Structure 1
């Protein structure tokens, strides 16, 4: 988990729900998942989708679409925090570079809107949601459906984005529960 911005802790008695935007970046599809977390810890599904990028003529236009669509979703749903999946080893260098650029476009969109952003490794997300860091996409899809009470099949990228948001909700609750204000959360690489 890497936190890019810091805020102060709020007393649970006076806290309002926290809206978390989870982003699963990709160069062909970028997953979006939005949840609300009540002060008592209850998590509620708000929105999920996948930004489909293959209709663009160039890769540069894909990056612009990620930036624009993430900003639009932030304006529409007003999240207070953002969680995004960090880079993992790709099969080849070209894929890794494109994924990094897609992440960068999403990060810039969120940070340009003044939001707190935290990064989570894929293995952290899988472990938090499924219980094991080597879980496959179908296990993540199933558990997110169960945890958020969603019916029917979930698109894989959207399910991953919801899983990232749920991981952030659980992590922030644990850290705030032991009295660590957001500004003191350690940075991990």
Structure 2
């Protein structure tokens, strides 16, 4: 079973795919979808949706999971993240793939054992848990793999 995990963001969306080969979990691929802040919002959303569509078509995951939005003090940032999530949910719906969402603290607790873990702790544990994970320099990719791993634990 292949799982696509998504760490949604407007400027740097992380994605990661794992494959369950019980008892092992193998790294398949990961990456970033980056947009430029000077681009118009609808173009940025279209670019993100097209990029994720290509990832889904290429890897054909069995399940898709995304980190839930946490509402922060900046209403504008929260709204923009909501746009990204809405565009992705619509895309996932068109593929008719099972879809799951997980809160950031649950993801960290599942991967590290502590709900308020630091990013470097998540990165360290992902390398231990998911066989073949390369040295990832970007926490957005690592977070996406953590989402996929969390899905592997809870969505069976």
Work out whether the TM-score is over 0.5. Answer: yes
* Aligned-residue RMSD, C-alpha: 1.4
Structure 2 CA distance, aligned partners of 1:73 and 1:25? Answer: 14
Which structure features the higher share of helix residues?
A: 2
Q: How does 1:31-42 map to 2 (within 5 A)?
A: 31-38=14-21, 40-42=22-24
Query: Residues 56 and 62 of structure 1 are in contact (CA less than 8 Å); yes or no, is this contact kept in structure 2?
Result: no
Q: How does 1:44-63 map to 2 (within 5 A)?
A: 44-54=26-36, 57-63=39-45
Residue 109 (structure 1) shift: 1.4
TM-score, normalization: structure 1? 0.78
Task: Could you tell me which runs of 5 or more consecutive residues in structure 2 were left unpaired when the two chains were aligned.
Answer: none
Structure 2 CA distance, aligned partners of 1:124 and 1:134? Answer: 9
Structure 2 CA distance, aligned partners of 1:81 and 1:168? Answer: 8
Distance 1:35 1:56, change over 3 A: farther
Number of residue pairs the alignment of both structures matches: 155
In the TM superposition, structure 1's runs of 4+ consecutive aligned residues that sit over 3 Å from their partners are: none
Residues 1:71 and 2:49 aligned together = no
Structure 1 CA distance, aligned partners of 2:18 and 2:99? Answer: 15
Residue in structure 1 matched with residue 70 of structure 2 by the alignment: 88
Residue 32 (structure 1) shift: 0.3
Selected match of 1:136 from 107, 118, 126: 118
Distance 1:109 1:56, change over 3 A: farther
Instruction: Choose 1 or 2 for highest CA Rg.
Output: 1
- Structure 1, 56-65 or 69-78: larger mean CA deviation: 56-65
Residue 70 (structure 1) shift: 0.8
Task: Could you tell me which runs of 5 or more consecutive residues in structure 1 were left unpaired when the two chains were aligned.
Answer: 1-17, 174-189
